[in-house]
């Protein structure tokens, strides 16, 4: 292609959204993806595809116009307001998130997904993940109702096709190494392909190449001791290149550099994500049972909230346990409710017809301590509240060192099942400082001319925890803003 106006570094949701938005401004766009084509898409390719945005039932119908009459009649999608979204972000991040970024995320997310839909992305109700069938009706919970058809890999394919149609040039197997600057302004990218370095001149650059979760040394340095032992849920290519490039160009750091999104993950999963398995190594039905470590002790409130608001922080709790692992334990009453990820072949699962036999079969478990934990848990459940997985049912225990505050049911119905899990890191929370329009800022709070950022390498949005579905929303919102800004900047530079 001729000299590009805008170079986008990265190949996932945020990057391709930025490329599409820059093209809307009339810019010639070059997207550099470090991975080969077979491993394209960054962490986006490994997500389940659930999206968070404010909605009413009418909004759902507009986003999914092919809903059948039967689906509409038997589904309660509910309403999720901007106020709900603000409250959820404030609560789970302990009010630390940058208010300008939060405002942009919340108020622009619905429009950003509608924009993606217009680009060819298909959305479907998330029946298998976010709703249980109770008395013939599906009720959605946790502020989530839709997911991308085909999950993360589907989103990559939709956006890649949209980029091709729009005339975006995509170069795979091409790693951005450095930013080129002239007179204080970003003026290009130094890249590497096949061992050869070359410079690409342009007017603006969007960095959207992910966090540093695939960099074990950086994890140990910034997240702390033991984090080099975590499994990586997604791509091996998110090693912090974009963050380093931005810092070298004078960008300010922002956000929770000692924090990350980390979940319960199959104990024997590979070091990095497997595209064939996708996100099915995750194990997110823990609110229906109990979680114990190898000492036989519970260490989290499995029912503290819907899993959307606890799953991203419980991976760190698992990493801190002996052997960096835990067991999720269920009985026959809830096994039919377990998510599809529990049924894949690649699981470390133990089944037994008695809790005593299960205790003996759990590798490394202190059996007597585990049995005591189960007995104490069963005895501590308050009578009265009915079990209902679609709501915070208040069915709880009392008097335990760690009480379960919702969905507490006795483990008393054989057969019993236990699943071995470890910590799977999704993405890191620390990154570059940007404003609400995705301009990268320097240490003085000024915009670095020609430099924008979006996606997981943006800091200041998530602290300590994360409301499920917000990552794809952030990528869409700030990717679109970054591309729009970069395209306009390039237009003014001509």
Is residue 224 domain-resident?
Answer: no
CA 412 to chain centre: 34
Is residue 223 domain-resident?
Answer: no
C-alpha separations of 300 from 241, 309, 397, 450 in Å: 35, 13, 13, 46
Is residue 388 domain-resident?
Answer: yes
Both 38 and 181 in one domain: the answer is yes
Both 76 and 120 in one domain: the answer is yes
- What does the pLDDT look like over 151-178, one tens digit per residue? 999 999 999 999 999 999 999 999 999 9
pLDDT greater than 70 at residue 1: no
Tell me the average pLDDT of the chain: 96
Is residue 76 domain-resident?
Answer: yes
* CA-based nearest residue to 351, from 369, 372, 370, 335: 335
Is residue 228 domain-resident?
Answer: no
Both 52 and 108 in one domain: the answer is yes
Both 419 and 272 in one domain: the answer is yes
Can you read off the two tokens belonging to residue 134? 């109770």
Is residue 233 domain-resident?
Answer: no
Boundary of a domain, candidates 424, 449, 468: 424
Give the dihedral sign, CA 144/145/151/154. Answer: negative
Tell me how many domains the chain contains.
2
Give CA–CA dist 232/215, Å, rounded.
9
* CA-based nearest residue to 150, from 242, 47, 288, 32: 47
Single pTM value for the model:
0.95
* CA-based nearest residue to 234, from 44, 37, 38, 434: 44
Is residue 292 domain-resident?
Answer: yes
Both 271 and 391 in one domain: the answer is yes
Is residue 221 domain-resident?
Answer: no
- What does the pLDDT look like over 357-391, one tens digit per residue? 999 999 999 999 999 999 999 999 999 899 999 99
> Which pLDDT belongs to residue 276?
94
> Which pLDDT belongs to residue 184?
83
> Which pLDDT belongs to residue 449?
96
pLDDT greater than 80 at residue 60: yes
* Element (DSSP H or E) covering residue 206: strand 204-207
In the beta sheet, which residues pair with residue 262?
Answer: 425
The CATH number given to whatever domain includes residue 277 is 3.90.700.10
- What does the pLDDT look like over 307-357, one tens digit per residue? 999 999 999 999 999 999 999 999 999 999 999 999 999 999 999 999 999
Both 143 and 18 in one domain: the answer is yes
Query: Sorting pLDDT into bands at 50, 70 and 90, what band is 482?
Result: very high
Give CA–CA dist 168/165, Å, rounded.
8
Domain that holds residue 16: 6-212+429-493
Both 18 and 37 in one domain: the answer is yes
- What does the pLDDT look like over 200-254, one tens digit per residue? 999 999 999 999 999 999 999 999 999 999 999 999 999 999 999 999 999 999 9
Both 325 and 448 in one domain: the answer is no
The CATH number given to whatever domain includes residue 452 is 3.50.50.60
Give CA–CA dist 281/476, Å, rounded.
25
Query: What is the pairing mode between strands 146-148 and 123-125?
Result: antiparallel
In terms of C-beta density within 10 A (0-12 exposed, 13-18 middle, 19 or more buried), how is residue 394 classed? middle
Both 39 and 57 in one domain: the answer is yes
Q: What is the DSSP string of 300-330?
A: S-TTSS-GGGTHHHHHHHHHTSGGG-EEEEE
Boundary of a domain, candidates 409, 424, 439: 424
Give CA–CA dist 159/169, Å, rounded.
13
Both 286 and 196 in one domain: the answer is no
Both 293 and 361 in one domain: the answer is yes
Boundary of a domain, candidates 396, 424, 452: 424
């Amino acid at each position: 292609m001729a000299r590009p106006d805008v170079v986008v570094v990265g190949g996932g949701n945020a990057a391709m959204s930025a490329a599409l938005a820059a093209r809307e401004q009339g810019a010639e766009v070059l997207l550099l993806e470090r991975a080969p084509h077979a491993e394209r898409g960054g962490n986006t390719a490994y997500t389940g595809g659930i999206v968070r945005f404010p909605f009413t039932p009418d909004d759902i119908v507009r986003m999914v116009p092919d809903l059948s009459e039967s689906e509409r009649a038997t589904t309660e999608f509910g309403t999720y307001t901007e106020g709900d979204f603000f409250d959820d972000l404030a609560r789970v991040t302990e009010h630390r998130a940058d208010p300008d970024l939060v405002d942009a995320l919340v108020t622009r997310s619905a429009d950003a997904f509608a924009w993606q839909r217009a680009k060819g992305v298909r959305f479907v109700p998330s029946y298998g993940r976010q709703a249980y069938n109770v008395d013939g009706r599906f009720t959605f919970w946790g502020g989530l109702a839709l997911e991308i058809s085909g999950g993360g890999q589907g989103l990559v394919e939709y956006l890649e096709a949209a980029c091709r149609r729009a005339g975006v040039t995509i170069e795979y197997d091409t790693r951005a190494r450095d930013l080129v600057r002239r007179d204080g302004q970003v003026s290009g990218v130094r890249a590497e392909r096949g061992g050869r370095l070359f410079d690409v001149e342009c007017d603006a650059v969007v960095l959207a190449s992910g966090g540093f979760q695939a960099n074990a040394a950086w994890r140990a340095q910034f997240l702390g001791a033991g984090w080099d032992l975590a499994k990586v849920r997604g791509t091996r290519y998110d090693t912090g290149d974009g963050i380093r490039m931005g810092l070298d160009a004078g960008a300010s750091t922002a956000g929770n550099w000692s924090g990350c999104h980390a979940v319960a993950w199959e104990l024997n999963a590979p070091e990095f994500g497997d595209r064939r398995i996708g996100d099915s190594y995750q194990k997110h039905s823990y609110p229906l049972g109990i979680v114990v470590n190898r000492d036989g002790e519970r260490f989290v409130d499995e029912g503290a909230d819907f899993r959307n608001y606890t799953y991203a922080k419980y991976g760190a709790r698992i990493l801190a346990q002996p052997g960096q692992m835990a067991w999720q334990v269920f009985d026959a009453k809830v096994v039919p409710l377990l998510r599809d990820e529990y049924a894949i072949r690649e699981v470390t699962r133990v089944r037994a017809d008695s809790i005593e036999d299960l205790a003996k079969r759990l590798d490394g478990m202190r059996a007597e301590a585990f049995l005591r934990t189960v007995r104490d848990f069963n005895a501590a459940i308050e009578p009265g509240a009915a079990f209902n997985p679609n709501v915070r049912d208040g069915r709880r225990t009392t008097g335990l060192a760690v009480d379960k505050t919702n969905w507490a049911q006795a483990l008393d119905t054989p057969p019993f099942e236990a699943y071995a899990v470890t910590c799977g890191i999704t993405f890191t929370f620390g990154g570059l400082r940007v404003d609400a329009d995705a301009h990268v800022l320097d240490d003085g709070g000024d915009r670095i001319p020609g430099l924008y950022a979006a996606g997981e390498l943006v800091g200041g949005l998530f602290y300590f925890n994360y409301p499920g579905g917000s990552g794809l929303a952030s990528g869409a919102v700030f990717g679109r803003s970054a591309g729009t800004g970069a395209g306009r900047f390039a237009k003014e530079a001509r």
